[in-house]
Amino acid sequence: MPRCAPRPPGAGCSLRTEATLAFAGSEVAEVTAADDRLRVRFAAARVAGGWLQAIELDLSGATWTGAPADCLGRVAEGRAQVDGRERGLAIPSELAGDVALELHFANGATLVARGRALALAPRGELRFVEDFSC
């Protein structure tokens, strides 16, 4: 389970263990598109044992179908492939190749994108929120 390493107050969070993004159950705050770049800002990125806040996925060299403005809220299902192989996305990670991303949202919106490189990284102060559900 990811945990923040002890740091001085206001210094943010440094992960003690690697966390892998689980698309299903994650919450997207915003998807933006400009030129050939697609950015997905997660309000809560689902990982083992809880959620990480302030995570951003950046797909460069991107083309997509779906309306980015409609793609927000809970992700019902999603997947990422690199060079035709499904990949888990560690936080942080940088991948290059033929990248395919598919996100299906609980509100019915779908985003399907392809690109040349994908980066997944914390933005700002990283916070881990533990899952207390039974």
Residue 86, pLDDT > 90, answer yes
Place of tokens 């770049």: 37
pLDDT digit string, tens, across residues 108-125:
999 999 999 999 999 988
Tell me the pTM.
0.85
CA distance 50 to 44: 9
CA distance 59 to 111: 12
CA distance 108 to 120: 24
